[in-house]
Amino acid sequence: MSFIELQDVYKIYKNGVTAIADMSLKIKKGDFVFVIGHTACGKSTLIKMLYREEKPTKGNVFVGGVNVAKLKNSKVYKLRRKIGIVFQDYKLLPKLTAYENVAFVLESYGYKESEIKPKVIEALTRVGLKEKLRSFPDEMSGGEQQRVCIARAIVNKPKVLVCDEPTGNLDPDTSKEIMKVIDSINKEMGTTIIMATHDRDIVNRMKKRVVVIKEGVIAGDYEKGSYKVDEAH
């Protein structure tokens, strides 16, 4: 079985809107996959289903052998410890420093202080923020805040990194730097990356697998694909 697998998945919201219809998808361990499509095409729903923020109405969603669709609410946290999530709006706690924002994840897992420090410093060093440990989010640029968000996502060495438009709020140059960081995580740590994005330049430049979603169904799936305007829109 693939590391991530969707089998005949439907997601119909309570208001009757069908976000995902009969979707099947396989992603191998260590893959880097872009999920592209226009706004409200269903890519965010797909991403959210991977970490069980949304539950499929029908079908199965396997992540690392676990059927997320059948996972009890009380066990969801176990799944999320295996998945790192990178958000468009970073979701950092404004009153905590960069170090504390990353450390609090491990603290909440019950790690010892002596275990936390090296892991946090390693994660922040990997994203190039070793010098900013004591900075608060409002003292950092958007790119730096996104790096803290990535460091927080990888600090527990997850098997998969789910990124929901991580460069959506960033300028092209900063976006490139962020993509370098994410690419290095994929190559050096072997982490599977799934990234929903609108950023045509990034998709075209990186030549990774591209899954195109249109009105809740997969309209195309290309190895080393590119952002095709006619398919995504």
Partner 1 sequence: MKPIRILFRSISSAFKSVIRNLSLSVASISCIIITLILVAFAVLLSANINNFTSDIEDDLTMVVFVKKETTDEEIEDLKKNIDAVPNIRDVVYKSKVQIKDEMSKEDETYNRIMSEWKEDENPLKPAFIISVDKIEVMGETANTIMNLEHVDIVKYGKNMVESLVDIFDIVKKVTYVAVIALVFVTAFLISNTIKITIYSRKNEIDIMRLVGTSNMVIKLPFLFEGLFLGIIGSILPVIFTIYGYIFLYDKMGGVMFTKIISLINPYDFVFKVSAVLVVIGAVVGMYGSYKAVRRYLKI
Q: Which residues bind partner 1 (CB under 8 A)?
A: 51, 53, 73-74, 77-83, 85, 91, 93, 104-105, 107-112, 152-153, 156
**Alpha carbon distance, N-terminus to C-terminus of the chain:** 32
Residue with Cβ nearer partner 1 (82 or 200): 82
Residue with Cβ nearer partner 1 (162 or 181): 162
Nearest to 170 by CA among 103, 52, 88: 88
- The nearest distance, CB 55 to partner 1, in angstroms, is 14
Residue with Cβ nearer partner 1 (121 or 151): 151
- The nearest distance, CB 144 to partner 1, in angstroms, is 18
Residue with Cβ nearer partner 1 (10 or 111): 111
- The nearest distance, CB 112 to partner 1, in angstroms, is 7
Q: How far is CA 223 from CA 12, 41, 114, 143, in A?
A: 29, 21, 43, 29
d(CA 84, CA 123): 12
Residue with Cβ nearer partner 1 (3 or 111): 111
Phi-psi category of residue 21: left, alpha or beta, with phi > 0 → left and psi -120 to 50 → alpha: beta
Q: Measured at the alpha carbon of residue 204, what is the angle toward residues 215 and 189, in degrees to the nearest 5?
A: 95
- The nearest distance, CB 184 to partner 1, in angstroms, is 21
- The nearest distance, CB 213 to partner 1, in angstroms, is 22
d(CA 90, CA 152): 10
- Residue 102 has a CB neighbour count (10 Å cut-off) of 30
- The nearest distance, CB 150 to partner 1, in angstroms, is 13
Helices (H), 2-82: 43-50, 76-80
Residue with Cβ nearer partner 1 (22 or 100): 100
CA dihedral sign of residues 93, 96, 99, 102 = negative
